[in-house]
């Protein structure tokens, strides 16, 4: 399972949000570029970056993200404000390893499927779940599409993965969130990336054994020092299987 240390940007600073509320960010006074470099140095294979200003349509952190991509020297999975084919293609040309799409897949699935065909293994589709419903527009608008039907509609597209966030996990019991992830992960052939569920190191140990979970985003727990990245990477490594001995 791949650990993706996660950085959420707003106004050039690293933040986390409570249940996606852009008006209530918790701000971390760290240098985003140096933080990304440190994560790469610790052994991270991917870094995930979300641009909350782009989500809100109030600007962007493009220059900062370009610097992170250039200096981190590991692939960057980028999310936030991708509402057109042109913006997706622009960031792939600028070096983003993967693009995460949340609202666009519900509004313009043909464009998303086109992008997946053109950039196989670089497009990730996001499912943000709240009380069993698929949410769009930065967690603000419930979709009429059931999460299971949404997954089925992309079954034949060459996606890099499906990013599943149980928004309720921000306040409710993590065991219930693990159940949501497990249920949805069993309904797609695509690798599943879990988000919003890691509060402590034991959460990574549990996720490791959920079928079809190939990765997990870890953000707030890293910044709050509740999880150590080096320890998380060690736990997430695959365990060597038994080798038959020749007699």
Of 173 and 18, the structure prediction assigns the larger pLDDT to: 18
- Asked if 79 contacts 102 with a C-beta cutoff of 8 angstroms, the reply is yes
| Digit-coded pLDDT (tens) for 127-171 | 988 877 888 776 677 787 889 999 999 999 999 999 998 876 654
Number of helices followed by number of strands (H, E) in the chain: 11, 12
Q: Which of 230, 168, 236 is nearest to 41 (CA)?
A: 230
**In the 8-state DSSP scheme, what is residue 77?**
E
Q: Which of 80, 60, 62, 87 is nearest to 138 (CA)?
A: 80
Of 172 and 6, the structure prediction assigns the larger pLDDT to: 6
In the predicted model, is pLDDT for residue 15 greater than 60?
yes
State the average pLDDT for the chain. 89
CB atoms within 10 A of CB 245: 5
What percent of the chain has pLDDT above 70?
89
In the predicted model, is pLDDT for residue 209 greater than 80?
yes
Q: Which of 91, 36, 19 is nearest to 60 (CA)?
A: 91
| Digit-coded pLDDT (tens) for 32-86 | 999 999 999 999 999 999 999 999 888 999 999 999 999 999 999 999 999 999 9
In the predicted model, is pLDDT for residue 100 greater than 70?
yes
The pLDDT, as a whole number, for residue 141 is 76
Active centre residues (catalytic): 8, 128
Q: Which domains does the chain have, with CATH numbers?
A: 2-235 (3.20.20.70)
| Digit-coded pLDDT (tens) for 195-206 | 988 999 999 999
Q: Which of 124, 144, 122 is nearest to 133 (CA)?
A: 144
This prediction has a pTM of 0.90
Rounded Cα distance, 38 and 17, in Å? 23
What element of type H or E holds 183? helix 174-185
The pLDDT, as a whole number, for residue 130 is 81
Angle at 197 between CA 34 and CA 70, to 5 degrees: 25
Three-state DSSP class for residue 229: helix
Rounded Cα distance, 151 and 163, in Å? 11
The pLDDT, as a whole number, for residue 177 is 67
When pLDDT is averaged across residues 176-185 and rounded to a whole number, the result is: 81
């Amino acid at each position: 399972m791949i650990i993706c240390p996660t950085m959420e940007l707003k106004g050039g600073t690293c933040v986390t949000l409570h249940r996606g509320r852009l008006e209530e960010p918790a701000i971390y006074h760290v240098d985003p570029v140096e933080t990304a470099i440190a994560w790469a140095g610790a052994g991270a294979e991917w870094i995930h970056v979300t641009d909350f200003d782009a989500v809100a349509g109030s600007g962007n952190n493009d220059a900062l993200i370009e610097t992170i991509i250039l200096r981190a020297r590991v692939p960057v999975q980028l999310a936030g404000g991708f509402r057109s084919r042109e913006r997706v293609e622009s960031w792939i040309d600028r070096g983003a390893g993967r693009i995460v799409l949340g609202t666009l897949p519900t509004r313009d699935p043909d464009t998303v499927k086109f992008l997946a065909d053109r950039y196989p293994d670089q497009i990730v589709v996001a499912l943000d779940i709240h009380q069993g419903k698929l949410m769009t527009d930065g967690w603000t608008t419930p979709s009429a599409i059931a999460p299971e039907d949404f997954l089925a509609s992309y079954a034949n597209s060459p996606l890099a993965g499906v990013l599943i966030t149980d928004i309720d996990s921000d306040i409710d019991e993590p065991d219930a969130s693990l159940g949501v992830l497990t249920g949805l992960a069993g309904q797609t052939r695509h690798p599943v990336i879990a988000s919003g569920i890691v509060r402590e190191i034991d959460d990574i140990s549990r996720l490791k054994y959920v079928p079809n979970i190939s990765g997990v985003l870890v953000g707030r727990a890293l910044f709050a020092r509740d999880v150590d990245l080096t320890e998380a990477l060690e736990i997430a490594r695959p365990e060597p299987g038994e080798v038959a001995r020749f007699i």
